[in-house]
Amino acid sequence: MSEFYIYNWIIVVLMLCVAVSAVIPFWKIFARAGWPGALALLMIVPFLNFVLLWVLAFKAWPGDEKAKQ
């Protein structure tokens, strides 16, 4: 009843690929915004990813001060 067939392994591998492909771009974005890149791991958490995107969208970026001067 608790056998792990090859289809289950394929689904697990696909889910890991999707998770990694979602984390890598956000790691770069968070690093450029001046935040720790490890915050990108929170993008896997449902609902929290939307909150993080809203906070990231409306925060002051490091390049904003240079543009105002």
For the stretch 6-28, pLDDT in tens is 888 899 999 999 989 989 999 99
Specify the pTM. Answer: 0.72
Instruction: Give the separation between CA 56 and CA 19, rounded to whole angstroms.
Output: 20
In a domain, 1, yes or no: no
Residue 8's pLDDT is what? 87
In a domain, 27, yes or no: yes
Residue 16's pLDDT is what? 93
Residue 20's pLDDT is what? 92
How many CA atoms, within 13 angstroms, populate the side-chain half-sphere of residue 1?
0
In a domain, 14, yes or no: yes
Q: How many domains does the chain have?
A: 1
In a domain, 42, yes or no: yes
What percentage of the chain exceeds 90 in pLDDT? 43
| CA neighbor of 26 nearest in space, from 16, 36, 17 | 36
Label residue 62 by pLDDT band (50, 70, 90).
confident
Q: Which domain holds residue 39?
A: 6-68
**What is the token pair recorded at 69?**
């001067």
Instruction: Give the separation between CA 61 and CA 7, rounded to whole angstroms.
Output: 44
